[in-house]
Structure 1
């Protein structure tokens, strides 16, 4: 096996999602980004978030499925301020699957589905 990578397939919102994630995560690095011909739809993008490689694209085929909360990106925050800030941003047009709280296994934990349907688990201990 050469590598393993998280892959997020959107249906027309990939470019918007990439720009949103850049605002949320100043450390997010776009390694590559190409668009479909005569379009703002993403043919393929490679992102790096704290050494997590994420591939992103817009599917040219319409599917009857989207993201599921069963798969999520897990983020360990460095401070209470950081987790509060990220949760507040993600909740704008998103929804809390588990609101920010102390659940025993974490001093502060939240499970958020962003406005694109991508699930994020955030923790601070």
Structure 2
């Protein structure tokens, strides 16, 4: 079977990001972890698979420095069941990150917000 999963590449904090995301969602779960065996990145995540908000995601710590990082042009879009969940996720993800669009009614949604979390990953949060 062909499958597609978002893949998040970090430069040293993949485990902290994955654990934060898993903790935010009721179904959050680390499914597998393979660590870099040696060198400067020994013990860091070579490849991990986790689930959050019903989505299977993959992540890694790249031992190679790149001239790029995450960009809001690709974001994780979460449909929240109620306003309490939306507010909780927005506040948790914005903590240490940055707000791109504060929680508000933007016409296309009665309650929507967009943040970059402290790891640089972009999240769009919408009240279903």
TM-score of the superposed pair, with normalisation by structure 1: 0.93
Measure the CA separation in 1 of the matches of 2:85 and 2:35. Answer: 32
Structure 1: 5+ residue runs without aligned partners? Answer: none
Measure the CA separation in 2 of the matches of 1:60 and 1:104. Answer: 43
User: What is the aligned partner in structure 1 of residue 45 from structure 2?
Assistant: 42
Shift >3 Å, 4+ stretches: none
Measure the CA separation in 1 of the matches of 2:54 and 2:97. Answer: 25
How far 1:19 sits from its partner (Å)? 1.4
Measure the CA separation in 2 of the matches of 1:84 and 1:50. Answer: 15
1:60-111 Cα shifts (integer Å, max 9, x gaps): 1110100000000000000000001111111110111111111111111001
Aligned residues: 125
User: What is the aligned partner in structure 1 of residue 26 from structure 2?
Assistant: 26
Alignment of 1:1-125 (within 5 A): 2-37=2-37, 39-125=42-128
Contact kept in structure 1, 2:100 and 2:116, CA below 8 Å: yes
How far 1:4 sits from its partner (Å)? 1.3
Structure 2: 5+ residue runs without aligned partners? Answer: none
Contact kept in structure 2, 1:94 and 1:112, CA below 8 Å: yes
